[in-house]
Amino acid sequence: MRTTSKRARAAIAVLLALFLSLGVAACGSDDDDTTGNDEGGGGGAIVSNPDNGKVTLTVGSKNFTEQIVLGEVYAQALEAAGYKVKKDLNLGSETVALKNVKAGQISGYPEYVSTALTSFFEAEPEEVPADATEAYEEAKADFEKEDLTAFPPTPFASANAVGTLKKTAEERDLKTVSDLEGQSEEMTLYGSPECRQRIDCLAGLEELYGLKFKKFVPVDIGLRYTVLDKGQADLSILFTTDPQLSAQADKYVILEDDKEVFPAGNVIWVTTPEVVEEAGPDYEKTIVQVQEGLTLKVMQELGARVELEKEPAAKVAAEYLESAGYTG
């Protein structure tokens, strides 16, 4: 009886500890930091056209920070142009997003031109043109065969990259991905679950660079810096637009992709000719106008405010539009 009750008490203690720690987890930070955003490109204000009020557009995006921010920017810009706008900013992957465009569930969504070429149109990563306009023309022609259309690209480009702690890079003398040769066998690489088999990710590192890693561990995209910080990952797949790379340049570095496994892609708006016809000329005009200010630096800053300072994406997007002079 004694021992039972002692054990039971220990168990209760464990349980309570677990319970309390969960309480802490549930209370995510919701601070209201208001750092102003003075960045942003030029371009005049978006003019609201009353004719557009008859048209409802549904803006889609994939479900990670950069895409959600883009989705908000486009949605609010279209709203400013007078359209009725609905949002669906939580689509799982590009295949899901594209299917939704084709089915008319969403009017359009932002896609990386490199992803469009490799995922939808079977281009090898090294075949993706480095020039944004050239890549856009190629993707646009491919989309047209599918009865889809795409608007011109954003100024910024985004790519995956092999990242590591600056400390590790210095110790091992790593500047490019090729420098990993002879060392990768003793290093662990962390990346999104789909990275494992993608030719523009782990499969490409193995086949095009001939690298073998000690272990590849799949993790949620949101944990890509946590695993480096925790010392679990020697290498982690990062995005070149990550705010951490500029805000903490003394901590993280990315290795130069010297054999071009990770194609860089500017963002293009993917939509259908039917929507273009229904929505009229303001549709493309607004999208192209509002993305003019989206340079790499601005994207990193918008991302930092959402990801590091936990501000809502809608608010960050609204302040971008205002400070860049698109809305007033």
Partner 1 sequence: MSALPQPLFASIQGAFEFIITPQSSNVTGGRTVGGIDQVIELTLTQLEVTLLALALSLLVALPVGLYLGHRGTGELLAIGIGNAGRAIPELALIAFMAAAIGVGLLNVTIALAVLGIPPILTNAFVGIRQVDRSSVDAARGIGMSEFEILRKVELPLAVPTLMTGVRTATINIVATATIAPLAGVLTLGDFIINENVYGENGVLAGAILVALLALTLELALAGLQRLLTSRGLKLKPA
Binding-site ranges for partner 1 (CB under 8 A): 1, 4-5, 7-8, 11-12, 14-15, 18-19, 21-22, 24-26, 28, 92-96, 99, 118-122, 124, 142, 145-146, 190, 193-194, 196-200, 203-204, 207, 217-220, 222-223, 226-227, 229-230, 232
| Choice between 45 and 199, CB closer to partner 1 | 199
Distances (CA, A) of 42 to 153, 283, 297, 323: 17, 19, 15, 10
Inter-residue contact 136 to 150 (CB < 8 Å)? yes
Nearer to partner 1, 19 or 44 (CB): 19
**Contact call for residues 129 and 138 (beta carbons, < 8 A):** yes
Residue 151's SS3 state is coil
Contact 255, 160 (CB under 8 A): no
CB of 9 to partner 1, least distance (A): 9
Q: Residue 117, SS3?
A: helix
Residue 221 or 296: the one with the smaller Cβ distance to partner 1 is: 221
Q: Could you tell me the smallest distance in angstroms from the CB atom of residue 241 to partner 1?
A: 20
Cβ-based nearer residue to partner 1, 78 or 189: 189
Question: Judged by CB, which is closer to partner 1: 35, or 95?
Answer: 95
Q: Which of 86, 212 has the CB closer to partner 1?
A: 212
Cα separation of 305 and 319, whole Å?
11
User: How far apart are CB 135 and partner 1 at their closest, in Å?
Assistant: 15
Closest contact distance (angstroms) between CB of 3 and partner 1 is 9
Number of other residues whose CB lies within 10 A of the CB of residue 10:
10
Q: How far is the CB of 29 from partner 1 (least distance, A)?
A: 12
Toward partner 1, which CB reaches closer, 85 or 116? 116
Whole-number Å distance between alpha carbons of 106 and 103 = 8
Distance, in Å, from the CA atom of 144 to the CA atom of 96, rounded to the nearest integer, reads 19
Closest distance between partner 1 and the C-beta of residue 80, in Å?
A: 33
CB 215, min distance to partner 1, A:
9
Cβ(160)–Cβ(201) below 8 Å: yes
Contact 71, 79 (CB under 8 A): no
Dihedral Cα 275, 263, 119, 194, nearest 10 deg:
-120
> Shortest approach of partner 1 to residue 225 CB, angstroms?
10
78, 59 contact by CB (below 8 A): yes
CB atoms within 10 A of CB 230: 9
| 19 vs 38 by CB, closer to partner 1 | 19
